[in-house]
Amino acid sequence: MFGLGRDKELVGVDIGSYSVKAVELKAKKKEGETQYDVKKIGYELLPHDAIVEGTIIDSAAVVETIKMVFDENKISNKNVIISISGNSVIIKKIALPAMETEELAESIIWEAKHNIPYPYEETNVDYAILKPPPHADEKNLDILLVAAKKDKIANYSNVISQARKNLDAIEVDVFALQNALEYNYPEIINEKTMAMINLGANITNVIIIDRGNPQLFRDLSIGGSFFTENLSKDLNISFDDAEKVLKGLPVKDIQPEQLQTVLDMNMQNLLEEIEKTFSFYEAGEKKDKKIEHIFLSGGLSKLKDLSSSFEQKFNIKTEIFNPFRRISYDDKKFDNIYFEEMAALFGVATGLATRKMDR
């Protein structure tokens, strides 16, 4: 959304609270359709608490991790696109009468000042006009209003600059996820009402899309770290051991029944937060729009039985999102772990890499 220029080939860089992911794609035309090959891919863990609740605390550590991702995976392209999310990013869907471009720009500023809970001068604002649904009233426009606090943008753009990379554009996590979804699951996104839930370390991104049109966005302050901290406290183990048991690794003196009880409590908290978001969406629709399909991505999506827990709670088909479902890669050049066990971690980075080629 906050573009600085979109004519270069870019590396999609997802700076999460737990790790940095990078994806570079190569586009090719085949039978009139754009197809992608993975050109480069990388993943590096961040030191604990380098980023807390979406704010970069230890910029030096983040800079070094970004450099490491590029150096270790021989990514020579320095032109990058990143994304942000959290409380400092506001996304609102608004309706305005159809009008001339100049009038629309003025109306957007007015709407931003009245819909954003921060001083207008402290934010960067952008917008997108949504594609109207069939038989829609042409007298009105559905618009996505996006605002991000300038200090949040500076927080993330500074580490890119310090890592000696060229920042081409800043996107929002949920839009990157939608890009990856549109490319990889066209048969679902255009036919159903669906939810994408990206379960990160500190933030869970939720986007609800009705037949290709984004309808609702939420960033929830719950994620893998919430689970880890509760496991550490309730089982009286270290944070590192809590991370191990969350990944399904054995830890001395922890009984499976004891672990499952704590996991179930945390799972219930997560499902209740998701249920509130679903209920808010369904209550706000004039028509009877029910969510028909759920995709899960992010680190916590790898938690055992998570998909089945969602299906039991909501009675909706749930699957783990694969951002490489329709993207080719050379299995002799890359470790398959990226595209199998770790695939769900690359939703945002892949969406960023596809987005820049489409504009």
- Residue 2 has a pLDDT of 58
- Residue 4 has a pLDDT of 44
| Dist CA 285 CA 288 (whole Å) | 7
Distance from the Cα of residue 20 to its chain's centroid: 13
- Residue 3 has a pLDDT of 53
Residue 235 lies in a domain: no
- Residue 81 has a pLDDT of 97
Residue 251 lies in a domain: no
Q: Residue 142 contacts by C-beta under 8 Å, 6 or more apart in sequence?
A: 93, 94, 95, 129, 130, 132, 213
Tell me which DSSP letter residue 337 carries.
Answer: G
Residue 156 lies in a domain: yes
- Residue 356 has a pLDDT of 54
Domain extent, residue 161, equals: 2-229+260-358
**Summary count for the chain: helices (H), strands (E):** 10, 16
3-state secondary structure of 260: helix
| pLDDT of residue 153 exceeding 90 | yes
- Residue 135 has a pLDDT of 57
Q: What angle do CA 85, 88, 91 make, to 5 degrees?
A: 70
Give the range among 103-112, 217-226, 261-270, 278-287 with minimum mean pLDDT.
Answer: 278-287
| Dist CA 98 CA 96 (whole Å) | 6
Q: How confident is the model at residue 247 (pLDDT cuts 50, 70, 90)?
A: confident
Residue 245 lies in a domain: no
- Cα torsion 206, 57, 146, 203 to 10°: value is 10
| pLDDT of residue 359 exceeding 80 | no
Quick one: average pLDDT of 225-244?
92
- Residue 203 has a pLDDT of 92
Residue 246 lies in a domain: no
- Residue 54 has a pLDDT of 87
Which one has a higher pLDDT value, 53 or 36? 36
Sign of CA dihedral 178, 181, 186, 187: negative
pLDDT, tens digit (0-9, with 9 covering 90-100), for 71-130: 999 999 999 999 999 989 999 888 889 888 888 889 989 999 988 999 999 999 998 888
Residue 287 lies in a domain: yes
Which residue type is seen at 244? K
3-state secondary structure of 131: coil
| pLDDT of residue 256 exceeding 90 | no
Q: Beta 293-297 vs 193-199: how paired, if at all?
A: parallel
Angle between helices 150-162 and 59-72 (to 10 degrees): 50
Among candidate residues 164, 166, 188, 165, the one with its CA nearest the CA of residue 178: 188
Six token digits for residue 142: 């559905």
Q: How confident is the model at residue 286 (pLDDT cuts 50, 70, 90)?
A: low
| Dist CA 22 CA 26 (whole Å) | 14
- Residue 315 has a pLDDT of 97
CATH number of the domain enclosing 218: 3.30.420.40
- Residue 358 has a pLDDT of 46
Quick one: average pLDDT of 17-37?
92
Residue whose pair of structure tokens reads 């159809």 in the numeric block: 98
Six token digits for residue 303: 């938690």
Residue 182 lies in a domain: yes
Q: Give me the DSSP letters along 159-198.
A: HHHHTT-EEEEEEEHHHHHHHHHHHH-HHHHTTSEEEEEE
- Residue 177 has a pLDDT of 96
Q: How confident is the model at residue 154 (pLDDT cuts 50, 70, 90)?
A: very high
| Dist CA 90 CA 101 (whole Å) | 23
Number of domains in the chain: 1
Distance from the Cα of residue 16 to its chain's centroid: 9
Residue 292 lies in a domain: yes
Whether the pTM exceeds 0.85: the reply is yes
Quick one: average pLDDT of 251-258?
84
| Dist CA 273 CA 250 (whole Å) | 29
